[in-house]
Amino acid sequence: MASEIELIERVRRQFPSARGGLRIGIGDDAAVLRPGVGRDWVVTVDAFLENVHFLRKVHPPKAVGHKALARAASDIAAMGARARFFFLTVGLPDACTRAWLDDFLDGMARAARRFGLTLAGGDTTKYPLVVASLTVVGETDRSNAILRSGARPGDLLCVSGRLGEAELGLRLLRRKLHKRKPWAGFLKKHFYPEPRLALGEWLAAHRCATSMIDTSDGLSTDLGHICKASGVGAIVWATKIPVVKIPPELRRLGLDPLDLAVNGGEDYELLFTVPKKYSGRLPRKIKGVSVTVIGEINRDKKVFLLGPDGSRTRLQPKGWDPFRKKG
Amino acid sequence: MASEIELIERVRRQFPSARGGLRIGIGDDAAVLRPGVGRDWVVTVDAFLENVHFLRKVHPPKAVGHKALARAASDIAAMGARARFFFLTVGLPDACTRAWLDDFLDGMARAARRFGLTLAGGDTTKYPLVVASLTVVGETDRSNAILRSGARPGDLLCVSGRLGEAELGLRLLRRKLHKRKPWAGFLKKHFYPEPRLALGEWLAAHRCATSMIDTSDGLSTDLGHICKASGVGAIVWATKIPVVKIPPELRRLGLDPLDLAVNGGEDYELLFTVPKKYSGRLPRKIKGVSVTVIGEINRDKKVFLLGPDGSRTRLQPKGWDPFRKKG
């Protein structure tokens, strides 16, 4: 059985050594980071727990490693910050200390390279279940982080990518249809979500977003967070939402693309507001990611969905985390 | 049953609001921290898990909250840094979301005030077991953090406080003797350890320590870490170690104070080295904590204990975490 020191060594080998800004990494009591002059630091923590956020029998260890880091990095994207360092605490059952851990670390190391993240420290323990917590540190120019609270009446509401794809992947998984090849793309968005870091940084650098959040809990919930924090309301145009394209052979499942897009979680797209004056100047694709205007911010502190038939329905927060039992 | 949002609100109410250096705290996608000019940041993460680090039936929730934070803050003390911010991820069983959580948060909030820590963010989830992970951020003058790797041959080895007290508390607990009043002091050190933050800062400010670690795993293990990181050896004078004073009425338990002091963990004292030239100038008490010279660093890369009878025995790492199953 692997000792804790051996585990730490295996983790350390998987990740590249120190880069700029990291004075002392793994191996001391704490990491020493050197912030750049005139920069703010953006820090987030995120738990990733067996049977809540993933199932060991269903989710490949590479996906667990990737997704644990991607979810936390998505919070950094949602602030418009550049991802820099991360820390991992992980409890592991004996059965997971060999091949499972290798794959978990491989998935996390590949994700870290993609996201520009350097491992700076961690803590490993034996545990009956896989329990992980990620701390991710990002950096922005001073006072340039994009908060949830800056949306103003008249701003346009925008979203990146396509909504509902991760939820469709989860539904396929639940129906045990996930091993069919033509639908692998939907599973990919559930297993290997891609935080929109480059888009977030672009928006911060161009100072055109007044508020931002990532769609981790679903559009209906996350838009509610922006409206509450900003003291505003919103109207969302149903026909404008870039909804998941359900393949014809899956129509028999009776899934509603709009419902998946509005209430499905874990797409990790960016939902943000821009002043109307920028609307003409906003590219339809930024850093390779499509950006769509889907609504408008107003004063009335409620969120409505304007249907294709002109009906207005109140949009209640219905998003959820797949394996998280809420309230 | 409490919803996640209610839980976050309860956590937020327990902790004071933003202070200097914290631009955005709880409530956005991530916290925004503003480092001081010419400062390094020191960051540590530490898991605190039910049945590994504590037992829900034995450890009062206040002690769980205190100790989870104290252990992580001790890593900041061991770098000679000032404690600034912390982040909490916690999974909680339903049974722990009411009175248990109140006491847990109360213990943690009191500890945070003592240690000078501001809560800057977190993540809460329902879980069958209490699983917590703490991230603590400290600050030092640039390049002033005290590492494990700076010990040099000829340096004197020093330790704060008294060693073996937390281990004695644990032994009493195991023998179910912990409710007897005269021994409450030993339990206090096990339940409510006190990270030596003021001492650590003093040593960093006076630039007199060449290396430092906290005695979380026990002297034999932690001194081994310093020697390995510094590429040196050490001799420890058994008669000089400030060992736990075992009360006469507990002598029947047959406990060896030297064994408790050398191999017992969780005292969270500071173990550090100073150049010999400082020996005369080092106060015996610093910031209210006693400091004792217990040995000397040498070149031979091994650690020996010099017994009262003049015998030299190899000091092997035997320290351990009470509920952690190692190797």
CATH of the domain at B130: 3.30.1330.10
* Closest CB to A32 among B1, B42, B127: B42
B325 found inside a domain: no
Could you give the CA distance from residue B289 to residue B269 in angstroms, rounded to a whole number?
Answer: 10
Measured between beta carbons, the chain A residues lying within 8 angstroms of B140 are 32
- Residues B200, B132 within the same domain: no
Q: Please report the DSSP string for A249-277 in residue order.
A: GGGGG---HHHHHHH------EEEEE-GG
Mutate to test the interface with B, among A133, A140, A212 (most CBs of B within 10 A): A133
Q: Whats the size of chain B, residue-wise?
A: 327
- Residues A300, A190 within the same domain: yes
* Locus of tokens 């870091």: A197
A321 found inside a domain: no
B327 found inside a domain: no
Token representation of residue A207: 């100072």
- Residues B115, B195 within the same domain: no
- Residues B180, B269 within the same domain: yes
Q: Scanning every residue of chain A, which has its alpha carbon at the shortest distance from the alpha carbon of B326? A: A3
- Tell me: ipTM over 0.95: no
Q: How many separate domains does chain A show?
A: 2
List the CATH number of the domain containing B260: 3.90.650.10
Residues A271 and A223: beta-carbon distance below 8 Å: yes
CB pairs under 8 A between A and B: 207
- Residues A85, A186 within the same domain: no
Q: Return the closest-CA partner of residue A132 out of A56, A184, A189.
A: A56
- Residues A220, A121 within the same domain: no
Tens-level pLDDT at each residue, chain B (327 residues)? 457 777 778 888 888 765 677 888 888 999 999 888 889 999 999 999 999 999 999 999 999 999 999 999 999 999 999 999 999 999 999 999 999 999 999 999 999 999 999 999 999 999 999 999 999 999 999 999 999 999 999 999 999 999 999 999 999 999 888 777 778 888 999 999 999 999 999 999 999 999 999 999 999 999 999 999 999 999 999 999 999 999 988 988 999 999 999 999 999 999 999 999 988 889 999 999 999 999 999 999 999 999 989 999 999 888 654 334 332
Residues B135 and B86: beta-carbon distance below 8 Å: yes
A223 found inside a domain: yes
A325 found inside a domain: no
* Closest CB to B41 among A33, A51, A135: A33
Could you give the CA distance from residue B138 to residue B150 in angstroms, rounded to a whole number?
Answer: 20
Measured between beta carbons, the chain A residues lying within 8 angstroms of B91 are 47, 49, 52, 131
Q: Which of A120, A141, A162 is the last residue of a domain?
A: A141
* Closest CB to B24 among A47, A123, A145: A145
- Residues A128, A155 within the same domain: no
pTM metric for this prediction? 0.94
- Residues B256, B187 within the same domain: yes
- Residues A92, A198 within the same domain: no
Q: Which of A141, A159, A190 is the last residue of a domain?
A: A141
Measured between beta carbons, the chain B residues lying within 8 angstroms of A87 are 43-45, 135
- Residues A253, A119 within the same domain: no
Domain that residue B300 falls in: 148-314
A326 found inside a domain: no
- Residues B263, B299 within the same domain: yes
Mutate to test the interface with A, among B29, B74, B215 (most CBs of A within 10 A): B29
Q: Scanning every residue of chain B, which has its alpha carbon at the shortest distance from the alpha carbon of A215? A: B29
A324 found inside a domain: no
A137 found inside a domain: yes
Q: Which of A96, A118, A141 is the last residue of a domain?
A: A141
- Residues A174, A292 within the same domain: yes
Q: Scanning every residue of chain A, which has its alpha carbon at the shortest distance from the alpha carbon of B222? A: A29
Side-chain-side CA neighbours of residue A102 (13 Å):
3
